Each structure stands twice: as C-alpha cells, then as structure tokens.
Structure 1
Amino acid sequence: MGDPRMAAMLESQKPVEEPGEDGEPSGATDEKKPTRPAVKQGDVWVYEGSVRDLISFKAVRGAQMLFVSIRNENDFNTTTNSRGLYRVSLPGDAQGYRLMIDHPDYLADYFVDAPNRPFRSMTQGSRLQLRSAKPAHEPWIGAGAEPMRRDVYLFPDITD
C-alpha cells in the first residue's frame, strides 16, 4: 500500500469508537445490529462484480480496490480488468472488510448496488444529484463458500 492517497483514505475511514462516561472508549456494542455469521478458521469469502461509472454506466478499468480487515487492518487488493470486472478472495473475518477504491478519474466515495438502490432506473439528473451524498459504507461480510456479487458505482471526478 505505497500510494499515499490510499493510505490517507484508509486513515480517514477508520471507525471511531464513542467514549463512555469516563471519557475512555466504551467498548459497548449496539444490540440492534444484526448478528454476523460465524466464521471458521480457513473460511474464504469470494466477491465478484463490476465497477461502473455512476453517470454513464461505462466500465471503469484499472480501479484499485483495497479491502481492509476491520478486525486487524490486514489489507488485500485487486484491480478491475479492461471490462471493469473484479474478483477477490479474502480470508473470512467476523467483523468484515472496509472497501476503498482509487482511480484518478473518479471520486473516492462509491455506491454499492443493492435492491433498494436501483441506479439503472434513475434518471441521469437524479444520479447527478448523488454527487453531494455521503454514502454510508457497511462492512463487507461473506456468507459462505459461494461467490457474492457486488457491483460498485463510482462518481466521475468532474469539475463544475
């Protein structure tokens, strides 16, 4: 991870633990969070999908994807191919991974495709309005041996 931009993104996206009454990190957990799957030694999670431009839907080739373990900060990376596709195998980690993406033509924030985010059915104007959004990034947590599909959308780094 020699790229200073990736190092800065990694540092800025570390989770912040809320202090307890004594000012020290509380270590308390939010009981409303869903239970995470049990992870066994040797589990491997495979993610595959595409990285696309959120405005044009064109494939983004050469996007550097950095997956950082929330538990121990080990990192794993991959780069999208000429068709904007990626596939990565990660050791199972009960706390999951944070994803950071770097590409010179795109902003660092990204959107992960999900059923409640139907980007392809939105107008281009609606997608352009997402530029001011600060997307929340949930940890990537695997759920077994089968590859999980995750499509990622990047916002072009355009000047107004």
Structure 2
Amino acid sequence: MIKLTTTCAIRRSKVLVVLMAGVFGIFTLVNNYTDYTAYYEYIGDILSMSTTEGNESRRYRAVKSKLFHHRFYWTIITLETIFTLCCLVGTYQLYRKLTASHKEFRGAKKMAVVGLTTAITVYYVMYIIILNEWFDMEYSTNRNAFDWARSNLEYMFPALIYLTLENEN
C-alpha cells in the first residue's frame, strides 16, 4: 500500500489535471469530426462576418473564401489534435513517474507542457485574437464562442502554471 504523502497527492493531482485537459480534447475532437459541417459553418460565418452586427467600418476584414474557411478550421482541428495527444501522452508519462525522483518527474512533464501550451494557443490566438478581435465574433448574436474560449483558457493556463510549479519534491 502506498502511503499518501503531500508529494504523492500533488503529483497525482498534476496527472489528473493533465488527464482532464486530454479528455476535454477528446470530446472536442469527436464533436469536430462527427459534426464537421455544423462547426465548419460556424467558423465560416465568423470569418465571413455574416452574423455580426454594428461593425460596418470593419467589414473589409471579412474573408468569404470557403477554401480559407476549411483551412482555418482544419488548423484549429490540427492544433486541438496536437494538444489532445500531447496531454494524453503527458498523462501517461507523468503517471509512470509518480514514484520516481523529483528530477525524473519534472522531466516527464514535457509533453504535458507542450499539450497545454498548444491548447492555450488554440483558444487564445485562434479564438480570442483572430476570431474575436479581428473578425468581431463578439458582435455576433448567434455565433459567439468568446465565453467558451475564455473558459477553456481559464482552465488551461492555470493548469500549465500548476503543472510547472516545482512543489512536488
């Protein structure tokens, strides 16, 4: 039987935090693949600015190209796939090093750090900066993923900070 120490609890919690990000990624990817058309149309509406209101002076930013819409959406899916796989592999690597030395456990964080950083890139750069700030997603009455992206960031960024803390000696 393993004695539950503070170090043991902290390490296990870090494994769980990364696992939850990976599971979120799995569900997101399943949605993206099984309902591609609906999500593609969602992204296309934002990029073409067809559902935004009160932004006539910024309409020059709209991109109407269906090819660009597909490529942009596939960029999101690709980055989400990378973050999901990295978080799942990172979970496995951390789990394998639960009882290892501090140095080995710290070294096992690499893939999880890459995964969480990629997730932050997706939700901050792709959604908050590009879709929201440039394409005015926030002004869409029915195509606004700003709160969803922000809630993902509110998990991923603190998870990355917590994971990288050197508090599991």
Please, what TM-score do these two structures have when normalized by structure 2?
Answer: 0.24
Mark the structure with the bigger radius of gyration. Answer: 2
TM-score, with length taken from structure 1: 0.25
Q: Whose helix fraction is larger, Structure 1's or Structure 2's? A: 2
Higher share in strand: 1
